Structure 1
């Protein structure tokens, strides 16, 4: 049985098989979670991202897709990069956000990961409302987890995000 847990803190401190990165489509680093993961993980992550761009993703990784690289100096085996959608008041992009979680879990399972740590994808600079992002994250993780993944963690940076994810988790029980 897969366990979903909430942790308040930095995703870069997690000891898991795979850390999910809320990446931008370039895969070449950025701000927020993406920048923190690249800084903490070191140049090996960026080197693999550049190789992926050269070999398979010349135009970048599409929104909702996921791809793995080394975790470099992080206390994980892999970083799974996924590109979340920018929130829109006029277009429903929730399917793309759900795809980020679903595809990341698929990649994790293919890698043989048993533990995965997620940030709150798209809820920072991409402005997705945290309560809706939490609902989509929790529901999609519950519906998408497959063996060998047993431990799914949502690592939230502040109390506000933690509280909204806690409410989403309670609503799914």
Structure 2
């Protein structure tokens, strides 16, 4: 039914109907009297009846087709609205994630901060190393016992920490 209603709204249908009506009128006006089936003198009653019948069926079919199209449009609008809501929710989620990432990045330590901290640690280690060196110089090497071994181990650990801190500082400066 919809296909027929759709077809009635095409230019081809209008051209076809015009050709049909013109042929009907010409045939019933020009053809021999025995071959005519609709009298021109009576105003082409059969043609009028046929066109009225066609119009009486065409109007409801067109309205039905229009109503069905309206229903399809409503469904499409609802789907579009739901899709828009999902897209909005996705965009809001992504915006929150971006804000969270910016906050995390803002809290991260910068290279300058790390370098400053490494220099501070290196100075602390050097001070401890200097203090250990003074303690070592003040002690007698002949009386070194267990405590002296512990002090030397500690001094060696501090030297190793200092070497690592310098290496990290060089690496950070190279970046």
TM-score, with normalisation over the residues of structure 1? Answer: 0.22
Greater share of residues in strand: 1
Compare CA radii of gyration and give the structure with the larger one. 2
TM-score (structure 2 length as normaliser): 0.22
Q: Specify which structure has the higher proportion of helix.
A: 2
**Higher RCO (CA-CA < 8 Å; seq separation 6+):** 1
